[in-house]
Amino acid sequence: MARPCIGITTAHNAEQGNYYCRHNYIGGIRQAGGVPLLLPPLADQDELLICAGRIDALLLSGGGDVCPALFGEQPHWKLGKFDPERDDFEIGMLRLMVDLGKPVLGICRGLQVINVALDGTLYQDLASQQPQSLQHMQDAPRRYPAHSVTLCQGSRLSDILGATRLQVNSLHHQAIKDVAPGLQATALADDGVIEGVEASGQPWLLGVQWHPEVMWEHDQAAASLFRALVSACL
Is there a catalytic annotation at residue 47? no
For residue 211, indicate whether it is catalytic: yes
Q: Which of residues 115-144 bind Mn ion (CB under 5 A)?
A: 136
Binding-residue total with Mn ion (CB under 5 A)? 2
Q: Are 169 and 142 in contact (CB under 8 A)?
A: yes
Q: Helix 23-31 vs helix 220-231: angle between axes, to the nearest 10 degrees?
A: 70
Q: Least distance in Å: CB of 221 to Mn ion?
A: 15
Q: What CA–CA distance (Å, rounded) separates 136 from 195? A: 10
Site membership for Mn ion, residue 86 (CB under 5 A): no
CB of 193 to Mn ion, least distance (A): 6
CA distances from 79 to 110, 119, 193, 219 (A): 17, 19, 18, 32
Nearer CB in complex with Mn ion: 164/167: 167
At its nearest, how many Å lie between Mn ion and the CB of residue 56? 29
Nearer to Mn ion (CB atom), residue 170 or residue 224: 170
Exposed/middle/buried for residue 115 (C-beta within 10 Å: 0-12, 13-18, 19+): buried
Binding mask 144-173 for Mn ion (x = CB under 5 A): --------------------------x---
Of the candidates 108, 136, 173, 195, the residue annotated as catalytic is 108
What are the φ/ψ torsions at residue 149 (nearest 5 degrees)? -130, 150
Decide if 23 is catalytic: no
Which residues are catalytic, by number?
108, 211, 213
